[in-house]
Every structure is written in structure tokens, then in C-alpha cells.
Structure 1
Amino acid sequence: MFWYNWVAGDIIALAFTYGVILSILKFLEESAKMELFDLNVLRKLCHVMIGLTLMLCWPLFSSGRTGAILASLIPGLVTTRGLIVGLGMGKDEKIIRSLSRYRNSRELLKATMGYVSTITLATAIYWRTSPAAIAAICNLCAGDGIADIAGRRFGSWKLPYNRNKSIVGTTAMATCGFLASLGYMLYFSWLGYIQESSKMVLGFFIVSVASACVESHPLSTELDDNFTVPLASLLVGSFVL
């Protein structure tokens, strides 16, 4: 629509994408108030929706570096309040309860920083022509997000090397990360940004399995899986995608 003025187009795309994500988060918040799901599910649905919605809106931006930079600002804008609370510069018990696992503001900062920095860097550096960026965001958002929900509900069988993780949760992470990656591969291939292939499908599968294995390791929990999962996705993806 704004090929003749890509700066205006990118600004409008930023405002639109930001508004869409805020609307989705508000809807989830109101649904939680109606007790359609609990706070742990709300936390993980937010985790899933921010990154995947942003990536869905990538084509609205121009293909140059300006489009990538403006798009990369959105995760930080959406989670500004969480960062402020995590830094101790403000108090908001609702945000702490909904976005932190252990109801701790410092943990909120760690988790938010990891999540935001991953999506921001993947957007600004790799942008929409990189299968590795697709894998990193899909495994972080869809994979890790659904893993927690599935693990809490059906995770009675624990992993032998980590009693805090379940077989169902790890399997759900690999499956959902892979399926989301395939969906975005088809989406960006249809738009002409990447070229789909059977090799890429296999590569996405390998990356999702590797990411799930990394997430299930005890060390990943200590370091924060918002850092370790996308890092594993990018490292493995650089070889197989």
C-alpha cells in the first residue's frame, strides 16, 4: 500500500502490529478474569502469542533494514511494563502473578529479558528470509509455551535425567515447535521470502528435537530456557537449514 513511501508504511505496520498484539493480550487477560484458564496458562499463552503474532505480521514491513529494525522494537514495547517491574522501578502484582513462574519480580526481569532479546535479535538480524529465525522463534514461542501447558496437565511421567520435566512436555515441545516452523515455512514460501524443500522440513524437525532436548536439561532451567532454546535453535539451524 505504501510502496511510494516505505517509511510511512513501516510506521503504520508497527502501530498496527503493536495494536493487534496488545488486543490479543487484553483478550487473554479478560479470559483469565472470567476463569476460562488459570494464570499459568495465561503466562504461557502470552509467551506463545507475542512472538508468533509478530512473525505473522513481518510481511507488513518493508524488506530493508528499516523494516527489520522497526519490527524488532515491538517485543520491547509490548513488555515495557514487565521490564519496569522486573527492574524494581514499579510495582504491579498482576503482572508479577501472570508473567512470572515463581511470583518474583527479579525472575520476571530475567524471563522477560531473555524472551524479548531473542525475538528482537532474530527479527533485527535474521529477518524474514532466514529459516533459522523461523526455527528460533517457533521453538521458543510455540514449542516452549505449549510444553509447559501440556507438562502441567499430563506430565506424570518424568524424564529420568530431570524430574522437573515430563516426557509429555518434552514431546509436546518438539512437536509444536516443528509444526509451527512448518506453518511459517509455508507462509513465507508462499510470499516468496524463502524456498520450501524437503531438506528444510527435515532441518526443522532436527532443530525442534534438539531444542526440546536442550530445554529439558537441568542446566537449561538454571540458565533460563528463554536464552538456551533459541540459542540451540540458531546453532543447530545454521548447520541443517
Structure 2
Amino acid sequence: VKEALGGPFVYCIIFLFSTVLFWRDNLTGVTAVSMMAAGDGMADIIGRRFGANNKWWFSDRKSVAGSVAFFVSAFVATFGLASWLSYTGALTTLSMNTASLAVSIAWISLACTVVELLPFGDDNWTVPIVGGVLAETMLS
């Protein structure tokens, strides 16, 4: 019960608010959700599979493999969704060129990767909040 009320419940709440408040008119919701879903999801999968022998020196629960998976997955998912939404005309407020968009999303992905590594707080909350706030400031 505790696990069900933890990660999955928080994920649903973040997804709901991101969809209702931000999904169609800017990249804030897309970024918040994709950082959490793709980044945090792949960090867990890859970290468990390939991270046993490459733990960070400051955490016995986090691995370099998981962090790399977080960054790459978060970047690819967010950039892919942003590009697709822009290409299809679903997102008309994006005024950045492709290179600027990629650089901004890379910085947001890196920041969220670092936040996911922090030994305090619940990354199910902190990652999408940081991703959303940075998207609101960097991608608007």
C-alpha cells in the first residue's frame, strides 16, 4: 500500500496537473512529465540492471549508469515530443530554432538528472517541478 501511494500516485497527480494546466499551449507540462516518465523511469530500469558496480561515491542507491540513462532518456523524450508537437502544429507558441531548443532541453535534462541524485526529497515531486519551472523560464 505504501508503494502504491508513493511513486505511482504522485506520478498520476503530476501527470494530471501537467496535462490540465500546461499540455497544449507550451512545453512546461511536456517537459515535467517527460523528465519524470522517461528520465526517472529509465534511470530505475537501467540503474537496476547495469548499475551494481558503478554506484556514485555519495550514494549507495544511485548509479552512474542510471544517471546517464536518466539524462539521455529525458533529453530524447522531451526533445522528441517538442519537435513532434511543433511539427504537427499542435504547439504554435514555440519560437526557438532547433539548436537552441536542443541546448535548452539538454540543460534542463542535466538539472533534473542532478536533482534526481539528491539524497533528500522525493524525486517523484522534485524532478517534474524542477523540469517544469526550468521549462517555463527557458522554453517560453
> Fold match, TM over 0.5?
yes
Matched, 1:167 2:68: no
Measured after TM superposition, the shift of residue 128 of structure 1 is 1.8
Q: 1:225 aligns with which of 111, 123, 139?
A: 123
Deviations 1:176-218 (A, max 9, x none): 0000111101110112114352222211111111111111111
**Within 2, Cα distance between the matches of 1:139 and 1:178?**
8
Measured after TM superposition, the shift of residue 131 of structure 1 is 1.4
**Within 2, Cα distance between the matches of 1:190 and 1:136?**
20
Superposed, 1:208-219 pairs within 5 Å as 208-219=109-120
Superposed, 1:26-105 pairs within 5 Å as 105=1
State the TM-score, normalized to the length of structure 1: 0.53
Letter in 1 for 2:117: S
Task: Provide the aligned length of Structure 1 versus Structure 2.
Answer: 134
Aligned to 1:109: 5
Letter in 2 for 1:118: I
Matched, 1:131 2:131: no
* RMSD of aligned residue pairs (Cα, Å): 1.3
Please, which moves more after superposition, 123-132 or 139-148?
123-132
Unpaired runs of 5+ residues, structure 1, are 1-104
State the TM-score, normalized to the length of structure 2: 0.89
Superposed, 1:198-213 pairs within 5 Å as 198-213=99-114
**Within 1, Cα distance between the matches of 2:25 and 2:100?**
16
Task: Tell which has more relative contact order, 1 or 2 (C-alpha 8 A, sep 6+).
Answer: 2
Q: 1:143 aligns with which of 25, 39, 48?
A: 39
| 8 Å contact kept, 1:159–1:165 | yes
Q: Secondary structure of 1:183's partner?
A: helix
| 8 Å contact kept, 2:38–2:70 | yes
More helix by percentage: 1
Residue identity over aligned pairs, in percent, reads 31
Deviations 1:6-59 (A, max 9, x none): xxxxxxxxxxxxxxxxxxxxxxxxxxxxxxxxxxxxxxxxxxxxxxxxxxxxxx
Matched, 1:183 2:80: yes
Aligned to 1:234: 132
Q: 1:121 aligns with which of 2, 9, 17?
A: 17
